[in-house]
Chain A
């Protein structure tokens, strides 16, 4: 297993265009997370899947953002009608199944997808 894979690594787009990012988690991990990070800030939670079910979505996430995880494998994050404020690093992470308070809750991050909206 090569870890968490994210594509594309960089995306430059014009305002108003749609973009889609893909994440392939570690194969035995059931949980998948999307975070967004801007310069000088920590990762900000966007959404969380357990298998194919999207269990939580940040209230800060506008309806221009949508995420899917069909069949509980890879996940996609789509941003419609991009705005300059969407420029950020989009991080995907995965973790195994386990109770809170165990090492199974450790997140393994992908390299990220950097979005620049012109």
Chain B
């Protein structure tokens, strides 16, 4: 059973702070890692993906991957109230085209 674990939260941060979201996965053969954002009542939309160990930055977002420790994280700098949403971590096992999703972490950015 391939598992993707996330703390359901909510994670509450003040506006302008750094929000740190974490995700662990059970399948050591996993190769592709994705972060999706889901606003209440809406469908998931991609924020970014990462495949290699290390950091990947895109604007205010940074994804960090550590395959040895089997975790992937998402940092959101200068958090805005509009970032308030559920953040879903998704993982593809090696060779699979089917992502397994975690339950998501609810982020609340308060002014």
Binding site for B on A (CB under 8 A): 31, 33, 35, 40-45, 48, 50, 56, 91, 95, 100-101, 103, 105-112
Q: Does B110 have its Cβ within 8 Å of any Cβ on chain A?
A: no
Determine the distance from Cα of A78 to Cα of B109 in the docked complex, in whole angstroms: 39
The total of chain B residues at the interface (CB under 8 A) is: 27
Q: Determine the residue in chain A with the shortest Cβ distance to B42.
A: A111
Contacts of B49 in A (CB 8 A): 103, 105-106
Contact A109 B45 (CB under 8 A): yes
Q: Does B43 have its Cβ within 8 Å of any Cβ on chain A?
A: yes
Closest 10 CB pairs of A and B: A42-B101, A109-B43, A42-B103, A101-B51, A43-B101, A112-B43, A42-B104, A42-B102, A109-B44, A41-B103
Contact B98 A100 (CB under 8 A): no
Q: Does B62 have its Cβ within 8 Å of any Cβ on chain A?
A: no
CB 8 Å contact bits of B34-57 with A (1 = contact, 0 = none): 100000001111100101000000
